[in-house]
């Protein structure tokens, strides 16, 4: 067993505070406010909220519609970042390792072509496990154990490490490996290792919807709030430390941000290319997109985890800023006028960069 680690916000309709220090306005965020208000006026979202922090001080915060900083929202793929952090916390505390093969923790995979898939491949969309269950099957299992039973008989769509294909099903296997290593269910792992030390009192993976209990959907089932997710971003921004408490090791945060795609083939039109116009190969880490990278070092200086419904968390290390826009799109994510709640999200971070660098 590895050595165990040492074991925010005052609610306001318009301003997020608490563990972030409120800072006197130094910048004009009117351009960002205008973009988001236009989305609301066009009916893309019924409401939403945003908070932007620079060096742990609130630079801009506003709520739209009837949202508050504690409005609970299912944030789809914005939860991938958090789910990967849960698994990183297990890696920090147990014998689980990023290079472990599936069969080490899930012996039912022994003899199956998927047995040698590594944990890091499950969290970087390079495992070869199909991205979603084949239709008409749906994710109606009751535990990650039963989820794995659904996934086991499925054929892989490519050999592990050969391609990048964005999806969520492989993360269920990763979550089950973490459960086996720690000896507890994933929701308990989340609440104990991440939510509790960060004060994320209004967040959960289980149940995955308001109708009741299903297994946690690691790739798209997080329910959270603006306040809660900003606490998570503060921890990641500070390389695993939150208000003096180590939640993740510095090494794990760095590992999550490293290029995990490697030589895997990336099809044209993936998120980073389509949304940001970038064509670098190292587009993904562990549970997070590597949106912008330093061309000399290859280090990602802007990372994110956008959801199809519009939620968009990001960190830009060059600007010393992080933020979160929380909302849930009305109807389809792709609108007739060309707007996409998924691919359109990076205009938020780009606008913030422009504001800070004027």
- The pLDDT of residue 11 is 34
pLDDT at 174 over 60: yes
pLDDT in tens, 28-40: 999 999 999 999 9
Confidence of residue 26 (pLDDT cuts 50, 70, 90): confident
78 closest CA partner among 259, 330, 329, 294: 329
User: Which tokens go with 205?
Assistant: 């993976």
pLDDT at 13 over 60: no
| More confident position, 4 or 303 | 303
For helices 250-257 and 79-93, angle between their N-to-C axes, nearest 10 degrees: 140
pLDDT at 266 over 60: yes
pLDDT at 6 over 70: no
Q: What is 258-270 written as a DSSP string?
A: S---TT-EE-TT-
Q: Express as a percent the part of the chain with pLDDT over 70.
A: 90
pLDDT at 255 over 70: yes
For residue 135, what are the CA distances in angstroms to 32, 149, 164, 216, 256? Answer: 40, 17, 21, 20, 31
Q: Summarize the confidence of residues 105-125 as an average pLDDT.
A: 97
- The pLDDT of residue 9 is 33
Between CA 210 and CA 90, with CA 139 as vertex, the angle to 5 degrees is 85
> What is the chain's mean pLDDT, rounded?
91
For helices 144-151 and 169-182, angle between their N-to-C axes, nearest 10 degrees: 130
User: Which tokens go with 40?
Assistant: 């609301």
Confidence of residue 18 (pLDDT cuts 50, 70, 90): very low
172 closest CA partner among 127, 202, 135: 127
pLDDT at 15 over 50: no
Q: Summarize the confidence of residues 236-251 as an average pLDDT.
A: 98
pLDDT at 1 over 50: no
- The pLDDT of residue 17 is 40
pLDDT in tens, 60-99: 999 999 999 999 999 999 999 999 999 999 999 999 999 9
Q: Report residue 309 CA to chain centroid gap.
A: 13
- The pLDDT of residue 310 is 97
Confidence of residue 207 (pLDDT cuts 50, 70, 90): confident
pLDDT at 159 over 80: yes
- The pLDDT of residue 205 is 93
Between CA 92 and CA 99, with CA 97 as vertex, the angle to 5 degrees is 150
Confidence of residue 209 (pLDDT cuts 50, 70, 90): low
Walk me through the domains of the chain, giving residue ranges and CATH numbers: 21-356 (3.40.710.10)
Specify whether the CB–CB gap between 142 and 215 falls below 8 A: yes
Distance CA 164, CA 126 (A): 5
Q: Summarize the confidence of residues 252-260 as an average pLDDT.
A: 98
pLDDT at 14 over 60: no
pLDDT at 210 over 60: no
- Can you list the alpha helix ranges (DSSP code H) found in 190-249? 196-198, 226-237
């Amino acid at each position: 067993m590895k050595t165990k680690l040492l074991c925010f916000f005052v609610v306001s309709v318009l301003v997020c505070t608490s563990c972030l220090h409120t800072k006197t306005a130094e910048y004009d965020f009117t351009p960002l406010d205008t973009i988001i208000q236009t989305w609301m006026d066009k009916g893309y979202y019924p409401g939403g909220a945003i908070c932007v922090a620079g060096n742990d001080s609130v630079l801009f915060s506003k709520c739209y519609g009837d949202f508050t900083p504690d409005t609970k929202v299912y944030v789809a793929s914005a939860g991938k970042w958090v789910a990967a952090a849960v698994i990183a916390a297990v890696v920090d505390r147990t014998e689980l390792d990023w290079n472990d093969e599936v069969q080490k923790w899930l012996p039912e995979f022994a003899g199956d072509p998927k047995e040698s898939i590594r944990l890091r491949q499950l969290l970087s969309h390079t495992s070869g496990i199909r991205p979603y269950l084949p239709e008409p099957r749906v994710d109606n299992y009751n535990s990650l154990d039963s989820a794995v039973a659904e996934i086991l008989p499925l054929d892989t769509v490519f050999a592990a490490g050969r391609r990048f294909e964005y999806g969520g099903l492989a993360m269920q296997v990763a979550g089950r490996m973490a459960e086996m290593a720690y000896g507890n269910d994933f929701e308990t792992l989340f609440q104990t290792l991440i939510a509790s030390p960060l004060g994320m009192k209004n967040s959960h993976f289980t149940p995955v919807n308001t109708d009741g209990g299903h297994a946690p959907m690691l790739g798209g089932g997080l329910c959270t709030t603006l306040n809660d997710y900003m606490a998570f971003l503060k921890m990641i921004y500070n390389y695993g430390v939150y208000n003096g408490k180590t939640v993740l090791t510095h090494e794990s945060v760095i590992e999550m941000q490293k290029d995990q795609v490697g030589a895997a083939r990336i099809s044209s039109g993936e998120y980073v290319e389509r949304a940001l116009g970038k064509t670098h190969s190292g587009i993904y880490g562990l549970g997070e997109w590597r949106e912008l990278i330093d061309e000399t070092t290859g280090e990602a200086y802007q990372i994110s985890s956008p959801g199809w419904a519009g939620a968009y968390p990001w960190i830009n290390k060059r600007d010393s800023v992080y933020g979160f826009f929380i909302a849930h799109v009305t109807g389809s994510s792709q609108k007739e006028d060309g707007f996409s709640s998924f691919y359109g999200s990076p205009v938020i971070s780009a606008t913030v960069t422009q504001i800070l660098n004027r």
